[in-house]
Amino acid sequence: MAALPQLPSILSFEDARHVVEQHAAQVVPGDLESVGLLASLGRVLGRAVTADRDFPPFRRAMRDGYAVRAVDLTQLPVILDVIAEIKAGADSRDVPAQIGPGQAAAIMTGAPTPPGADAVVMVEYTSLSGNQVTVTRAVASGDNVVPVGSEARQDQVLLPPGLLIDYSAIAVAASVGRDSLLVFRRPEVAILATGDEIVEANTQPGPNQIRNSNSYSLSAQVQAAGGDPKILGIARDEPQSLRDRIQQGLQCDLLLLTGGVSMGKYDLVEQMLAGCGAEFFFTGAQIQPGKPIVFGRANGKYFFGLPGNPVSTMVTFELFAKPMLEALAGMTARKLVFLHARLKSEIKTKTGLKRFLPGMLSGEFERGEVELSTWHGSGDVASTARSNCYIVIPPDRERIAAGEWVPVLKR
Ligand code: AMP
Ligand code: MG
């Protein structure tokens, strides 16, 4: 039987996260594929999107009002002759060739500012009578006019590769006339559940059996993070079964295993991975839930051995597997950041581990509040499903008083 990995490697949460980030920085994402603009939502951009012309392409009025020469507005009030009306989308023939001294043009937001005019005075500071407008407020040259190319020059990169495409990126792509985008292929993620007590979710479990929920929560998490989950079923706590499935899983871009990484006699996952030539980067992190998390590489493929308790599986995916998956999906690395919210009621825990406890973020507007969910440990998936965040508790805190600001990992 293969030897267990000789590693004293139970790392602090931060060190473990950094180890994953360092490896993630080295992975090469897959090929590119073309998808329709709306189908690109949530995908990772594979090739830069550039400006097809200057933005804005003309001197755009930012307000409804009058296009004027700022020098005409030094003595107030002033009366100007209105020589034209310029609508947004105006034909060039309807834009006066020049605004001369003492002249103005009525102008609408989004319309081209005519030559000679160097500012727009807002309609609120004017009153029109016949063909004459009285202006009661001065403007500086450039006020309420967006210069040509000030947002972007033609051919300038607007969206870089590696960007996670959201609604604002879709707006940019639409504004430069793109109806499809090149995105990275979704990485294939093998998901292998382990355990003699685990049965398929669509079967009736025996009295001491548990339905497989981890393969499904993980598939959902993989999909949400931009991956393509491949469920490999359930391996028995038995060497041959495990080894075969692990080999199969290592064909994918990333392998996620659940269960079998604790200290029990039948927790064989690490041994079997070692037998497949794995190197281990850590075999535990000082966190709860999720302490026995394993991270390594075999046959050039990364794997995570996630603890089997359903909440541990979820939390360790979010904290460790997700950045690796995002890197395989071509996404530019981002750091994990916690939000802060005010604690509604006191929390008491034990020291020693950084805790990620299911919580409920509530409140309104600038008054975010958070409260611990009542839960019964790392197996309590129902309590987690009714929560919407994890409250992060530092390892050195035994008691956190109501009213304190606490870090929160939003779901
Ligand atoms: P293990 O990490 O193998 O020691 O498992 C820890 C706990 O998680 C045990 O109570 C298992 O029954 C449970 N568990 C393991 N795998 C799964 C799974 N795929 N779905 C639901 N529960 C699981
Ligand atoms: Mg097990």
Q: What is the DSSP string of 347-410?
A: EE--SSSEEEEEEEEEEETTEEEEEEPP--STT-HHHHHT--EEEEE-TT-SEE-TT-EEEEEE
307 close to ligand 1 (CB < 6 Angstrom): yes
CA 329 – ligand 2 centroid, Å = 30
Report the atom number in ligand 1 closest to the C-alpha of 260: 3
Q: In the structure encoding, which two tokens stand for residue 187, read together?
A: 């990485």
Mutate which of 191, 196, 198 for ligand 1 pocket (most atoms within 8 A of beta carbon): 198
Residue 349's pLDDT is 94
Strand 32-36 versus strand 287-288 pairing type: unpaired
CA 319 – ligand 2 centroid, Å = 21
CA 363 – ligand 1 centroid, Å = 35
Residue 7's pLDDT is 54
310 close to ligand 1 (CB < 6 Angstrom): yes
Report the atom number in ligand 1 closest to the C-alpha of 261: 2
193 close to ligand 1 (CB < 6 Angstrom): yes
Closest CA to 70 of 95, 46, 97, 99: 99
Ligand closest to the CA atom of residue 263: 1
Residue 266's pLDDT is 87
Residue 58's pLDDT is 97
CA 207 – ligand 1 centroid, Å = 15
Residue 6's pLDDT is 54
Query: Would you give the end-to-end CA distance of the chain in angstroms?
Result: 41
Ligand closest to the CA atom of residue 233: 1
Residue 30's pLDDT is 95
Ligand closest to the CA atom of residue 212: 1
State CA 297 to chain mean position distance.
Answer: 26
392 close to ligand 1 (CB < 6 Angstrom): no
CA 298 – ligand 1 centroid, Å = 24
Q: What are phi and psi of 13, to 5 degrees?
A: -55, -50
pLDDT in tens, the chain (411 residues): 455 555 559 999 999 999 999 999 999 999 999 999 999 999 999 999 999 999 999 999 999 999 999 999 999 999 999 999 999 999 999 999 999 999 999 999 999 999 999 999 999 999 999 999 999 999 999 999 999 999 999 999 999 999 999 999 999 999 999 999 999 999 999 999 999 999 999 999 999 999 999 999 999 999 999 999 999 999 999 999 999 999 999 999 999 999 999 988 889 999 999 999 999 999 999 999 999 999 999 999 999 999 999 999 999 999 999 999 999 999 999 999 999 999 999 999 999 999 999 999 999 999 999 999 998 888 899 999 999 999 999 999 999 999 999 999 999
Residue 8's pLDDT is 53
